[in-house]
A = this chain, B = another copy of it.
């Protein structure tokens, strides 16, 4: 080998080590599908090139960017808020589903179904201004801890996904969250934690009423759901909010099926990804029969539609950010 080429080879190898933008991803099919896709759509003059303005990537939140077991974080928030508000509502001690919520009786809560859940949601999410609610969420997140990992929920985000978000943005993508969760439950912290600003978070929406409150105009949260951003609602939410069809969609459950379908059915190069939780030791293992984040139809569709299934166990060499990270 010539001295010059040896030097070049060393340089290249050093650069590839330094530059790996996805160090928490093992070098397997999933990582290669991602880097190949990004290389191709950013290759000016290549047949798959996509202008930066159209590089829209959408991510589910619960179970895709952060942990959704043993229950959705927003439900943990609801249960804690019912406790916090209980002194002002003595009637809740005898009234379902509040009684079950206060007693942590998840079986009764589950039996109360969607209607019971809506009662709890509205009792804890409505009646204040939009800005007051942001503060309540921020306060709660600063104190709440995950029951198994004993860390703040905002530290139980997936390190490989943080790297993927940053990698996409470094390649001119605009990264969006498209979640069934409440948009106002996510926006107070997504910029700090994911680098995704509030205006790039699409989610379910509560009715808002514009009115005077203490002499100043305010937006009051009303006890009515205005839009559910889940399942077939996800493509609708994307169109309403973004007005473009994404070229990359990443989800983990049947709630993401239509978002993945609609994204990957677009013309030109597209990438659909599904996170498969198969690592009970480092995180959780669940799919077809899970109560939260059920992955059944979308797992079957992945095979027929050519979506990339990402395995927590084999594709990720790290799940969560280091504990010592300042967050």
Contact = CB atoms under 8 A, between A and B. Distances in A.
Interface in A195-250: 197-201, 205, 208-210, 216-217, 219, 226, 232-233, 235-236, 239-245
A174 interface: yes
Given A201-B243, A236-B210, A242-B198, A217 B261 contact: yes
Contact of A199 (B174, B184, B226): B174
A14 interface: no
A187 interface: yes
Scoring A210, A235, A241, A265 by chain B CB atoms within 10 A of each residue's CB, the highest score goes to: A210
A232 B210 contact: yes
Given A174-B199, A217-B235, A235-B219, A187 B262 contact: no
A184 B219 contact: no
Given A53-B197, A201-B243, A210 B235 contact: yes
A143 B242 CA distance: 27
Interface residues of A, number: 37
Interface in A241-275: 241-245, 258, 261-262, 265
A265 to B, nearest CB: 5
Nearest to A198: B243
A226 to B, nearest CB: 8
Nearest to A261: B217
A130 interface: yes
Given A197-B53, A208-B239, A265 B183 contact: no
A191 interface: yes
Contacts of A131: 245
Given A216-B265, A232-B210, A265-B216, A183 B258 contact: no
B232 A183 contact: no
Contacts of A209: 236
A236 B217 contact: no
A240 B226 CA distance: 10
Interface of A: 53, 56, 130-131, 174, 183-184, 187, 191, 197-201, 205, 208-210, 216-217, 219, 226, 232-233, 235-236, 239-245, 258, 261-262, 265
Q: Which 3 A-B pairs have the closest CB atoms?
A: A198-B243, A210-B232, A187-B243
